[in-house]
Amino acid sequence: MTHYLDKDLFTQVQKKPTRDAFGLATSAMGETDDRIVVLTADVSGSVRANWFADKFPDRFYNMGISEQNMVAVAAGMAREGLLPYVSTFGVFITGRCYDQVRVLLAYSNTNVKLVATHTGVTVGEDGVTHQMLEDVALMQTLPRMRVIVPCDTREAVKALTAVKEMEGPFYIRLGRQSAPLVTSEEAPFEIGKSLMLQDGEDVTVIANGVLVYEALMAAQILAEENISVRVLNMHTVKPLDHEALMAAALETGAFVTAEEHQCLGGLGSAVSVWSTQNKPVPVEMVGMKDQFGQSGKADELLDYYHLRAVDIAQAVRKVLKRK
């Protein structure tokens, strides 16, 4: 499975913002599918919607700073057979528009793809109002809504392309900052099917988003202590990959989850709920512990809130004692 990983990952890490994927994927898909329309709310450049707008001005809608209306308009367009990809910052697209997303997308079962950028603490200096850490919680509890958290730009392009083929609402979570390219071009992507990036026997680290890279680095640290770590890239939080979790529970007997999101309501919660109902194993969580972020540089914030490889390694040592 090493061919799933970027060839330079352990030597010279390349970085790219996952938000670039929105511009890349929509402007590529727009060539062959004229149902695709892109909507944004005065953040064209930030979410890379301008890449689509430059190629397809007739199918681009800048709705102004009115996110609730943007979501409602997208629902109306979807009812008419168009395929709206809607993008703005994570706080607004989920938090501000929650009621519209709930009623007009999930309950009404409309074919709208929500794409959030600027999620997590790594948004950085703008601080709490712009650091969305509860979006996965909000979205995964909505019936019919499916939730994807890609780990890098390559995977995000594949996710944005894959959701085009599935009817109904999706939430795809991207980030603002440059993140390591973890996966290779050849790595497969299937909605609801996690990617095992490294096999191991003692414990499974289940990560998504930018924490996948940290999980792989944690596995390297732990290898030196003769701890064998399986790393699962759980890009789809909903529906969860039950099969991979069952195999991991049976074969490694302990879980550590890692995400740039509140543990409560995020990937950690989803995995824990699965485990208690299917195959109880000890679970430790790396993520935000019921706390807001603050202003700072992305890297400083990852350190400060203990979202690093060393923190995942520490959680692994802790969970092994509970096995």
Partner 1 sequence: MTNPDSRTLRVLKEKAHTLRVDCVRMVHQAKSGHIGGSLGLADIFAALFFKILQHDPSNPDWEGRDRFVLSNGHVAPILYASMAHTGYFPVEELMTLRKLNSRLQGHPSRTNLPGIEISTGSLGHGLGVAVGMALAARQKKASHRVYCSIGDGESQEGSIWEAALSAGHHQLDNLTVFMDRNFIQIDGNTEDILTMEPMADKWKAFRWHVIEANGNDFDDIFKAFDMAQNYKGKPSIILFRTKLGFPVSFMDGVSKWHGTPPKDEEAEKALQEIEAYYQGGNKA
Select from 9, 29, 36, 37 the one that contacts partner 1 (CB under 8 A).
Answer: 37
* Burial annotation 36-71 (CB, 10 A radius, 16+ → b, else e): bbbbbbebbebbbbbbbbeebeebbbbbeeebbebb
Select from 103-111, 221-229, 240-248, 276-284 the region that touches partner 1 (CB under 8 A). Answer: 103-111
CB of 58: closest distance to partner 1 in angstroms?
7
| 67 included as an active-site residue | yes
Q: Which of residues 55-94 bind partner 1 (CB under 8 A)?
A: 58-59, 61, 63-64, 66, 68-69, 71-82
Q: Which is nearer to partner 1, 76 or 280 (CB)?
A: 76
Residue 128 per-residue DSSP state: G
Measured from the CB atom, the residue of 63 and 163 that comes closer to partner 1 is: 63
For residues 203, 209, 210, 213, the Cα torsion angle rounded to the nearest 10 degrees is 40
DSSP assignment of 174-192 equals: --SSEEE--B-TT---BTT
Give phi and psi for 39, each to the nearest 5.
-120, 140
**DSSP assignment, residue 124?**
-
The minimum distance between CB 80 and partner 1, in angstroms, equals 4
Segment interacting with partner 1, rule: CB under 8 A, options 54-62, 113-121, 157-165, 301-309: 54-62
Provide the minimum distance between the beta carbon of 115 and partner 1 in the complex, in angstroms, as a whole number. 17
Q: Which of 14, 46, 108, 184 binds partner 1 (CB under 8 A)?
A: 108
Phi, psi of 38 (to 5 degrees): -115, 130
Q: Which is nearer to partner 1, 57 or 188 (CB)?
A: 57
Give the active site residue among 31, 67, 165, 251.
67
Dist CA 127 CA 71 (whole Å): 25
Q: Given the complex with partner 1, which of 143 and 188 has the nearer CB atom?
A: 143
Cα angle, residue 10 at apex, residues 304 and 122 outer, rounded to 5°: 30
Kindly tell me which of 16 and 96 has the beta carbon lying closer to partner 1. Answer: 96
Q: Are 124 and 298 in contact (CB under 8 A)?
A: yes
**Which residues are known to be catalytic?**
67
| Interaction site with partner 1 (CB under 8 A) | 37, 58-59, 61, 63-64, 66, 68-69, 71-82, 99-100, 102-104, 107-110
